[in-house]
A = this chain, B = another copy of it.
Amino acid sequence: MSLTHTGVTTPAPLDPCGLEEHPDCGIRDVLDRIGDKWSVLVIVELAGGPRRFRELQRAVEGISQRMLTLTVRRLERDGLVLRTVYPTVPAQVDYRLTGTGADLTHLVKALADWSLAHRADIAEARQSYDRTHPDHDIH
């Protein structure tokens, strides 16, 4: 959607990143996957190599059995994680990143880098906001 300003000499509406080209297309799918509470943490752990169910649960601190199950299932469904069942007894299952999943770690790293680079800015902005808007509660 072109939002060309009607301004006389106003410089064309800048879109430095070319984001207008794909407003929603597909981003939601990815955000729905990595935007939840645990997926990124699981992916990061799996970036270190294959893990069994209990290993993952111990590594990802605070995750419940239920949420770990749901998280790995969804990652598996999206083809980001490969689940392998070994017919031993008791059962043994391991999870590992697929090619797509491994590629996703690059994106996660970009996110982590950006977060670290701007962490101080954001923290400061929040403090400033909370100081100047004491009554306001938007969390």
* Chain A residues numbered 9-50 whose CB sits less than 8 Å from any CB in chain B: 13-20, 22-27, 29-31, 34-36, 40-41, 44-45, 47-49
Q: In this complex, what residue of B is CB-closest to A98?
A: B125
A91 at the interface (CB under 8 A from B): no
Q: Describe A's contact surface by its main secondary structure.
A: helix
A interface size (C-beta, 8 A): 67
Q: What residues of B have a CB within 8 angstroms of the CB of A126 in the complex?
A: 77-79
The chain A residues found within 8 Å of chain B, CB to CB, are: 1, 3, 5, 13-20, 22-27, 29-31, 34-36, 40-41, 44-45, 47-49, 59, 70, 73-74, 76-80, 100, 102-112, 114-116, 118-119, 121-122, 124-126, 128-130, 133, 136, 138
Q: In the bound complex, do residue A17 and residue B115 qualify as a contact, i.e. CB atoms below 8 Å apart?
A: no
User: Do A49 and B18 have beta carbons less than 8 Å apart?
Assistant: no
- Number of this chain's copies in the complex: 2
Cross-chain contact A29 with B79 (CB below 8 angstroms): no
Chain B residues whose C-beta falls within 8 Å of the C-beta of A133 in the assembled complex: 77
Contacting residues, chain B, for A48 (C-beta < 8 A): 3, 13-15, 19-20
Q: Are B138 and A70 in contact (CB under 8 A)?
A: yes
Task: Give the chain B neighbours of A116 by CB distance below 8 A.
Answer: 22, 25-26
Q: Look across to chain B and name the residue whose beta carbon is closest to the beta carbon of A22.
A: B112
